[in-house]
A and B are shown apart, each in its own frame.
Chain A
């Protein structure tokens, strides 16, 4: 494996050199330098990007990363200011359809040659690849992948329900929740009360009921699909989920309730793969919980993609251009992706990385298998709740409806479906 990696990298390097004479000249003459901004400052995210920076320096580069702690939107405010001042970073964190939106306000780097040299396109989920080449050319590179619809099962809650079968369909899921309730689990669904949290419940329900309807309604915003029966069915499923939640969570973060989840006071959690890292950081053991793909009525895993990425902004300086090429090569490198995902708990973007070795958890292996299966059955979709399916404005308009529905039990599924369609129209 290491030998192939090196050979591939060598190949990538030489092909890039042939294809990009300007870059190649720059690389030969100057020390590559990279200015980068991201929100990753602390915790496993901070550790992972610091490790990436070390690798960059090992290759002879100068690493200048300025983290903007807080929400992604705060990083975006800095990016906006830098772009408007005519001084964008050589590379910045950005993801999903925002890549297309932001690429219209400032020139980006054409990465086609570097990507082709690395043979990267073949090993990336097709819908994910599309996001990173909005006008047909690669301008951004995904770095790591999470699924937003993983199902976490509390071991102790399963014991209380005397159940050992992992639910596959929504019917199984509902049955298990009832069993848990009967077995004395106070709230069969563990959750937080934030906006993305509510959004995730809905997207998991709809994608599980019908991946086709999800693609048409949420990703393509087709009017007919938005008025379809699957949307109503998804809202009905969300209502059942909401009824099993602890009403007292208010606007809390999901991590607040992890102890109750592990203790079996709460039973199941529909959450992104990152929850595994949070559970482990909180000191809980792998035996405390099981991770499975979210319920799907056709029995095959649906994978709701959330992927962090880097976008590359055009710079005239030769050293920055050389730095961009080096960074692009590093981000696509399987060894680097392995290192990164092992720190953060995500899975690599590349579907050809082998996760059977040491350093990977059972949850990561399950997630990776789910992604492969989902790509094969065309069920790898883009997450709405985490801003992958639509731009921020559209996502926020949809989540307004969903979060109100989750918290207001007097709204009927039909009403919610109508409101969702109206919200989409209003935000177009």
Chain B
């Protein structure tokens, strides 16, 4: 009824919630759907991990037997050690490489756009492609070692891919090649957002470029560093396709990673219960990274609100 008379331009506004209805629909429906997916399947996996399921999910209770079987298996132990080594070295090295590239690119050089695209480009390549290409490059009989031999340095040796102790580093190399461009992009944005006035003030005070970087620019990159570390860490923990294409867990089982073990248990060995237990263990490792990050974010926000 009111509508009929409210042709006037200053018609009364619709109630707040009606006006915002499209926004709510846009946000809450997908959010609820994805949360339901994520949460319900996570709970389902947790349930399966306590059952004696093998080929198909069955009900029943075996307590922690699946967990102890996974934790006692050589595959998981190797995978866990590899994850610690791969995770820490990959995160650290991609951080350093990304930062170095960002600082070099930040020198107002010519062709910056081209270089930036080149360094970012690996990110656009699928991990399977990265893994396959590097498996050729690193193969002693086909790739870098053969090239150097053919050039005349016949004593040159670079056979990490087939060396059990060094093979995990080939994954680190490929992963850094793939994702240090990403770290670079984030750092570059951080470098560009440092207040130019502060830098000018420091220059007037006679600070050299090294000192400016050390005392002003790098400390202001701290929040970005944390973000990069967390994103790279969760990538490291869930690494699957890269290893599968590059070494497939080999030589032998030397480069197993948790995600490979989960897939292997569930779909190669048809041990759904044990695979689910391994998946839950992976989730716990992820939480060990993400919870401190969430706490840190919370504290930061609290501090900002108080300031």
Partners in one complex: yes
Binding site for B on A (CB under 8 A): 73, 76-77, 80, 83-84, 101-102, 104-105, 193-194, 246-252, 391-393, 396-397, 400, 403-408, 426
Contact of B141 among A83, A194, A246, A406 (CB under 8 A): A246
CA distance A408 to B250 in the complex (A): 11
Q: Is B55 an interface residue (CB 8 A)?
A: yes
Q: Chain B: which residue is nearest A84 at the CB level?
A: B56
Contact B69 A426 (CB under 8 A): yes
B211 within 8 A of A: no
Which of B69, B140, B267 has most A Cβ within 10 Å? B267
- Whether the Cβ atoms of B270 and A393 lie closer than 8 Å is yes
Give the CA-CA distance A101 to B56 in the complex, in Å.
11
Please tell me if the beta carbons of A426 and B162 are within 8 angstroms of each other in the complex.
Answer: no
24 contacts between A and B (CB under 8 A): A73-B268, A76-B267, A83-B56, A101-B55, A105-B55, A193-B251, A194-B248, A248-B139, A250-B139, A250-B247, A252-B139, A392-B270, A393-B270, A393-B271, A396-B269, A403-B252, A403-B253, A406-B252, A407-B162, A407-B164, A408-B251, A408-B254, A426-B69, A426-B72
Contacts known (A251-B248, A406-B252); A73 close to B267, Cβ less than 8 A: yes
A105 touches B56 (CB 8 A): yes
B254-275 residues at the A interface, CB under 8 angstroms: 254, 264, 267-271
A84 proximity list for chain B (CB < 8 A): 56
Q: Which residues of B contact A105 (CB under 8 A)?
A: 55-56
Bound together, the chains give a CA A427 to CA B54 distance in angstroms of 12
Chain B residues contacting A252 (CB-CB under 8 Å) are 139
B75 within 8 A of A: yes
With contacts A248-B162, A397-B269 known, what are 9 further pairs, Cβ within 8 A?
A: A102-B55, A105-B56, A250-B251, A251-B251, A392-B268, A393-B270, A396-B269, A405-B252, A408-B164
**Cβ–Cβ < 8 Å partners of A393 in chain B:** 54, 269-271
B159 neighbours in A (Cβ, 8 Å): 247-248
Q: Interface of chain A, helix or strand or loop or mixed?
A: helix
Q: Name the residue of chain B whose CB is nearest to the CB of A77.
A: B267
Q: Mark B66-92, 1 if CB is under 8 A from A, else 0.
A: 000100111100000000000000000
A415 CA / B94 CA spacing, docked (Å): 39
How many Å from the CB of B165 to the closest CB on chain A?
10
| Residue in A246, A250, A397 whose CB lies within 8 Å of B250 | A250
- Indicate whether B135 reaches chain A with its CB closer than 8 angstroms: yes
Can you list the 5 inter-chain pairs with the closest CB atoms, starting with the nearest?
Answer: A248-B141, A404-B252, A407-B251, A407-B252, A393-B269
Closest to A260 in B: B141
Q: Kindly list chain A residues whose C-beta atoms are within 8 Å of the C-beta of B278.
A: none
Q: What CA separation (Å) do A344 and B161 show in the bound complex?
A: 34
Given A102-B55, A396-B268, A250 and B162 contact (CB-CB distance below 8 Å): yes
Residue contact A400 to B75, C-beta cutoff 8 Å: yes
Nearest-neighbor residue (CB-CB) of B245 within chain A: A251
Closest residue on chain B to residue A427 by CB atoms: B269
Whole-angstrom distance between the Cβ of A281 and the nearest chain B Cβ: 22
Chain A residues within 8 Å of B75, by CB: 400
CA distance A250 to B142 in the complex (A): 11
B155 → A minimal CB distance (Å): 17
User: Chain A residues with Cβ under 8 A from B252's Cβ?
Assistant: 403-408
Asked if B141 and A403 sit within 8 Å, CB to CB, the answer is no
B residues 111-158 touching A (CB-CB < 8 Å): 135, 139-142
How far does the alpha carbon of A76 sit from the alpha carbon of B269 in the complex, in Å? Answer: 11
With A396-B268, A426-B69 in contact, do A404 and B56 touch (Cβ < 8 Å)?
no
Contacts of B248 in A (CB 8 A): 194, 251
The smallest beta-carbon distance between A129 and chain B, in angstroms, is: 23
Among A101, A405, A407, contact of B270 (Cβ-Cβ < 8 Å): A101
For the complex formed, measure the closest distance between the CB of A404 and the CB atoms of chain B, giving whole angstroms. 4
A193 to chain B: closest residue by CB:
B250
CA distance A30 to B139 in the complex (A): 59
A-side contacts of B251, CB under 8 Å: 193, 250-251, 407-408
B55 touches A80 (CB 8 A): yes
A426 to B69, CA, bound (A): 8
Q: Which residue of A lies closest to B142 (CB)?
A: A248
Q: Which residue of A lies closest to B138 (CB)?
A: A250
A323 to B15, CA, bound (A): 65
Assuming the contacts A73-B267, A426-B72, asked whether A407 and B250 have C-beta atoms less than 8 A apart, the reply is yes
Known pairs A404-B252, A407-B254; A250 contacts B55 (CB<8 A): no
**A194 — nearest CB in chain B belongs to which residue?**
B248
Residue pair B139, A426 in contact (C-beta under 8 Å)? no
Give, as a whole number of angstroms, the nearest-CB distance from A168 to chain B.
31
A27 to B175, CA, bound (A): 60
**A76 contact set on B, CB distance < 8 A:** 267, 270
A-chain residues with CB within 8 Å of residue B72 when the two chains form the complex = 426
Report B135 CB to chain A, min CB distance, Å. 7
> Closest CB of chain A to B3's CB: distance in Å?
50
Q: Measured between C-beta atoms, what is the minimum distance from B5 to chain A in Å?
A: 58
* Cα separation A107 to B135 with both chains bound (whole Å): 45
Contact with A along B37-55 (1 / 0, CB 8 A): 0000000000000000011
Are A400 and B253 in contact (CB-based, < 8 A)? yes
Q: State how many angstroms separate the Cβ of B38 from the closest Cβ of chain A.
A: 21
